[in-house]
Amino acid sequence: MNYLEQLGTKARKAATALNLMLQEDKNKALKECAKSLMGAQDNILAANEIDVNAAIGNGVKSSLIDRLRLTPDRLQGMADGLLQICALPDPIGEVLSMTVRPNGLTIGKKVVPLGVIGIIYESRPNVTADAFGLCFKAGNAVILRGGSDAIHSNQAIVKALRDGLKTAGYTEDALQLIEDTSREVAKDFMRMNAYVDVLIPRGGAGLIKTVVENSTIPVIETGTGNCHVYVDEFADFDMALDIIDNAKTQRLGVCNACESLVIHEKVSRSFLPLLYDRLHAKEIEIRSDERGLSICKGFVAATEEDYATEYLDKIISLKVVESIEEAIAHINYYSTKHSEAIVTKDYEHALKFLNEIDSAAVYVNASTRFTDGNEFGFGAEIGISTQKLHARGPMGLKELTTTKYIIFGNGQIRK
């Protein structure tokens, strides 16, 4: 049995035990894990220092170093996150429906854990505790495979969490870390169908593409977001400016930030100069099509590629359209099916946009930045799914479960 099969076997055994854990026991364990995390603060920060120094030495850019760096505050945030998860209701065991068939068979649909969840992520060590906490509360064992950049941090965090589980009297194997961060082991991990029920990649577009193309385990694709705001001919301009400003600039590097604008031609002459002033003040470059360029000198020419780009930067693309139909077709063609918004005062256009845009979250008169587990009221999220199977949009505890049919009979046989 090789290294991964050993991890897989332990995870399966842990999942069997987790399936039967009561809510109060899971919460007790999570509280111990939070305590253990803070108790190991010195170890964790020292390990993180090794990773950060190595990254600086390798010339990694400062925004990535910032993601990698842990501080006492950030560690406290991770521990608080575990305590917040304790406060969430346990989804396991709920019977979603129960019906009696004509022959008396009583068929219930019961919420159960997925089993073993694999998570492949990049260099954000806070994911280590967050992902464990959510998977654990939903009764799942977790196998983590983080980036090599963060390996010392991840090892220290996982050790603290496993110590917490042990102190609480539960199986440490509810959480395991793949310590060999080679690509070969990662690829083998993606084919462990006998041990892993679901694989969730968290990171950039490259990582997600690699997982989708190589995994034989069912994957929940979490998302890149080329999100659009469409300013309809019947838009309130002040509202449109506020929503665009918020969706683009409130936080640049996130998947629900707006990356592309679509403007109805009828309002383009009056609206685009206002838009330019608003975004120019925030140092946002606007890459526009011909029609936009002819109205506003401050715009830069867009290429075809711009419309397909998630910038995560101070750049936004812009397209002028002749109709709402053209707007919807443009968005459905270029979007990554994450989050899109219309700004309009028109009833028919609002409903048309809601019906015809094929994305996980479709907004009327609100910022795309709300696509988030906390903002949706889920309490926490493991990621935002941009695929259509199983879960779509922000994924909370419920999305980390499955169902099984439980059937109560008294001797029924099929005729």
Closer residue to a copy of itself, CB minimum distance, 17 or 38: 17
Report the nearest approach of a copy of itself to the CB of residue 364 (Å): 6
Report the nearest approach of a copy of itself to the CB of residue 145 (Å): 19
CA distance 130 to 343: 35
Closer residue to a copy of itself, CB minimum distance, 62 or 99: 99
Closer residue to a copy of itself, CB minimum distance, 33 or 92: 92
Report the nearest approach of a copy of itself to the CB of residue 142 (Å): 15
Given a contact cutoff of 8 angstroms between Cβ atoms, the answer to whether 331 and 308 are in contact is no
What Cα–Cα distance (Å) separates residue 214 from each residue in 4, 141, 238, 407? Answer: 17, 22, 47, 37
Given a contact cutoff of 8 angstroms between Cβ atoms, the answer to whether 262 and 327 are in contact is yes
Report the nearest approach of a copy of itself to the CB of residue 92 (Å): 11
Closer residue to a copy of itself, CB minimum distance, 297 or 405: 405
In sequence order, the β-bridge partners of residue 120 are: 145, 201
Interface contacts to a copy of itself, rule CB under 8 A: 16, 19-20, 99, 101, 105, 107, 112, 114-115, 193, 197-198, 212-213, 216, 218-221, 236, 239, 242-243, 245-247, 250, 332, 354-356, 358-367, 369-371, 375-377, 387-390, 392-393, 402-414
In sequence order, the β-bridge partners of residue 263 are: 231, 320
The dihedral formed by the CA atoms of 136, 15, 182 and 42, expressed in degrees to the nearest 10: 40
Closer residue to a copy of itself, CB minimum distance, 180 or 242: 242
Report the nearest approach of a copy of itself to the CB of residue 287 (Å): 23
Question: What is the biggest distance separating any 2 CA atoms in the chain, rounded to whole angstroms?
Answer: 80
CA distance 160 to 251: 32
| Helix (H) or strand (E) run with residue 197 in it | none
CA atoms 395, 397, 402, 408: torsion sign: negative
Closer residue to a copy of itself, CB minimum distance, 269 or 398: 398
Report the nearest approach of a copy of itself to the CB of residue 278 (Å): 13
CA distance 26 to 6: 24
